[in-house]
Homo-oligomer: A and B are copies of this chain.
Amino acid sequence: MRLAELSRRSGVSAATIKYYLREGLLPPGERVTATQAEYGAEHLRRLRLVRALVQVGGVPVARAREVLRAVDDAGQDRHGRLGAAVWALPHGPEPEEDDPVTALARERAAELTARLGGSGHGEGQAEGPPHRMLVSALAALLRLGYPCELEQLLPYGELAARLAVHDLDVIERYEPGNAQVEAAVALTVLYEPVLLALRRLAHAAESERRYAAPERRPPAGPVSPAAGEAGR
């Protein structure tokens, strides 16, 4: 297919596809003549993955290129490729070095991963981007005066470990090879908004259960149309 059809079938504007080609997020099509190129189903698939990463996952274009390069890297096994892909994901600001709060956050993160080590957490990942992400988030909480006690963090770690087992079970259902690494990246990135959205929905619901005045809640039975106002 030509670029215009790729655009029609994906819903992405031709100009944007050209931009992705230029940025190396999409491999070039097969050159038919000096001025025309042919694109296949794999281009369509890749384009949809790029869109999902960039728009839904919020991955910057430059990072997405690194992630996809890792996915395509035939020189590594799936563990290595997945690791490299996750390694390239965005992870917020670098924690400020030479800051006592950062040092405390680092210590908390180390305690947490140590305590979770037995149940499958990455003690070997200290200093990878996810670890730095954890440290800078904990440092921000500490700076705001929240103690970030281990006892409060542990449930998060345990649930994350359980999610990881579940996710890899799901990934194993796809045929090994590129499809599996691609699935791993897609599920890692795209389930992040799913998880955050579900947590926010659950917060609202739990807050409503605990604090909303009873007369505001609809009586038992089908949800009333007015119930949507309760969370505002």
Q: B-facing mask of A145-184, CB < 8 A → 1, else 0?
A: 1100000110111011111111110100000000000011
Q: Within 8 Å of chain B (Cβ to Cβ): is A231?
A: yes
Q: Would you call A18 an interface residue if the criterion is a C-beta within 8 Å of the partner chain's C-beta atoms?
A: no
A232 proximity list for chain B (CB < 8 A): 80, 83-84, 87
Q: Are A190 and B140 in contact (CB under 8 A)?
A: yes
Task: Check A68 for interface membership: any CB of B closer than 8 A.
Answer: no
- Per a CB cutoff under 8 Å, which of B49, B127, B218 touches A228? B127
- Provide the residues of chain B in CB contact with A29, threshold 8 Å: none
B211 touches A79 (CB 8 A): yes
Interface hits, A55-77 → B, CB 8 Å: 55-56, 58, 77
CB distance from A76 to the nearest CB of B (A): 9
A93 part of interface (Cβ distance < 8 Å): yes
* Pick from B77, B124, B137, B196: contact of A211, CB under 8 Å: B77
Interface-lining segment among A20-28, A30-38, A200-208: A200-208
Contacting pair B198 A79 (CB below 8 A): no
Q: Once the chains bind, are A134 and B197 in contact (CB under 8 Å)? A: yes
- Contact (Cβ within 8 A) B163 A159: yes
16 pairs, CB–CB < 8 Å, chain A vs chain B: A78-B207, A82-B204, A86-B204, A121-B201, A121-B205, A124-B231, A125-B205, A126-B228, A131-B197, A140-B190, A141-B186, A141-B187, A161-B198, A163-B202, A164-B205, A196-B196
